[in-house]
Amino acid sequence: MGKCPFFWYAACIFIRFLGDVCYNALMQGQKFKQWTCRGRTLTFDRPAVMGIINVTPDSFYANSRALETDVAVDRGVDFFRDGARILDIGGESTRPGAEPVTPEEEIRRIVPVITALRKRCPEAFLSVDTRHTAVAAAALEAGADILNDVSACEPDAGMWNLAAASGAGYILMHARGNPKTMDSLTDYRNVTDDVLQTLLDTAARMEKLGISSEQIAFDPGLGFSKNHAGSLALLADTRRFASLPYPYLVAASRKRFLGEITGRAEAAERGPASVAAALWAVTEGADMVRVHDVRATADALKVFLAAKEARRE
């Protein structure tokens, strides 16, 4: 009987050693997800940071607003230098209650920014955040690679045909209604199950129309037709979405549900909470995080990845 504790201790050491060997072998042979965006391939050998560039006067986070073209372009260049692999340019606020913007005004705001960033950051992946086919088409002509359609489950007529014809990367984001109505559409049987099934069903419809599965990325739409509890549940369940073959984007940056958790009423006060949400997402397998605070997020991810790599050595 006196030998039993030693036996179990030795067995535990062996099991731990075997587990480490298997884990390292798995990681070395891992096949990373890839995203096809107009003939370019974004490989997620590490999480990608998407920097938010709001060419708008009314985005919910005032410090993110950059209505002047030069300011927006300089911000995008800084974001790319700070570690953003994707730059997401939007000309219409989609915060709850926001007033709609005409496609013509969106185009006027964003096309000069995309054109300049294409020249100054040729290696960056450029994304356009829009609900309108005409805006998406103008953005692609200016050099964008990705369509970030916040109404992707109920798209503007022609949006999917444009994606199929252009080969652009397509972010399929879950939402209900529009910025005026979405806060009244937050009831779900089970928010994770419902959102996941809707995204899968919508992706299947898109693929039947000729959009390659390699073009599609998923976004659960935190804060879009989700109450605080729903957004938190989706963030908590990141691993379920990230386990699918589609690249997975989490966009929690400075959103209201983070203020509900932290007691920070103003978006300007939610920077640390946003970095924490991004770290949680990548820990659970997210491929991309869409953020306002690129440098802080990229630096946090560098530490996270360095520690993860050191553990494997």
Q: DSSP assignment of 64-94, as one string? A: GB--SHHHHHHHHHHHHHHTEEEEEEESS--
Helix (H) or strand (E) holding 219: strand 216-219
Is 50-312 in CATH node 3.40.720.10?
Answer: no
Per-residue confidence in pLDDT tens, the chain, 313 aa? 444 454 444 444 434 444 444 434 334 445 799 999 999 999 999 999 999 999 987 666 656 777 789 999 999 999 999 999 999 999 887 766 677 889 999 999 999 999 999 999 999 999 999 999 999 999 999 999 999 998 867 888 899 999 999 999 999 999 888 777 888 888 999 999 999 999 999 999 999 999 999 999 999 999 999 999 999 999 999 999 999 999 999 999 999 999 999 999 999 999 999 999 999 999 999 999 999 999 999 999 999 999 988 987 6
pTM: 0.87
Query: Domain boundaries in the chain?
Result: 50-312
CA dihedral sign, ordered 59, 63, 66, 72: negative
Catalytic residues: 255, 290
- Please calculate the CA angle 36-191-189 and round it to the nearest 5 degrees: 135
